[in-house]
Amino acid sequence: GAVVSQHPSRVICKSGTSVKIECRSLDFQATTMFWYRQFPKQSLMLMATSNEGSKATYEQGVEKDKFLINHASLTLSTLTVTSAHPEDSSFYICSARDLTGYTQYFGPGTRLTVL
């Protein structure tokens, strides 16, 4: 149980294009999903918290117009990196928390490379 999928697992794109990453909870309903970014050999950094049906809450320093988050259902959240630049290249990881517990279950991550 508590499986979270993420798609795509790896993406390479040109500078200036937009990339959408999907995060799905496969066997549970996630009222809250989280988006993290992790640079090589660094800690997880929380980017935003998204609750189903409401606007995401962004952490300080994260541009909400650049990182668009949509949490349209209890099993799906998407992160769109708009007008990507090489400095956005990173490992993006989502996690989901179910209705009853506190534990966050992580997706496998998406490695984004912007050329």
Partner 1 sequence: GQNIDQPTEMTATEGAIVQINCTYQTSGFNGLFWYQQHAGEAPTFLSYNVLDGLEEKGRFSSFLSRSKGYSYLLLKELQMKDSASYLCAVMDSNYQLIWGAGTKLIIKP
* Per CB under 8 A, 103 contacts partner 1: yes
DSSP-assigned beta bridge partners for residue 67: 81
Binder among 28, 35, 58, 105 for partner 1 (CB under 8 A)? 105
Binder among 73, 99, 108, 113 for partner 1 (CB under 8 A)? 108
* 27/20 Cα distance (integer angstroms): 22
Binder among 21, 25, 74, 107 for partner 1 (CB under 8 A)? 107
Residue type, 103: T
Structural contact between residues 84 and 114, judged by C-beta atoms closer than 8 angstroms: yes
* Per CB under 8 A, 16 contacts partner 1: no
Q: By C-beta, is 12 or 16 nearer to partner 1?
A: 12
* Per CB under 8 A, 35 contacts partner 1: no
* Per CB under 8 A, 113 contacts partner 1: no
* 50/18 Cα distance (integer angstroms): 20
- Compute CA distances 74 → 40, 58, 112, whole Å: 31, 19, 25
Q: Which residues bind partner 1 (CB under 8 A)?
A: 2, 6, 34, 43-44, 46, 49, 91, 93, 102-109
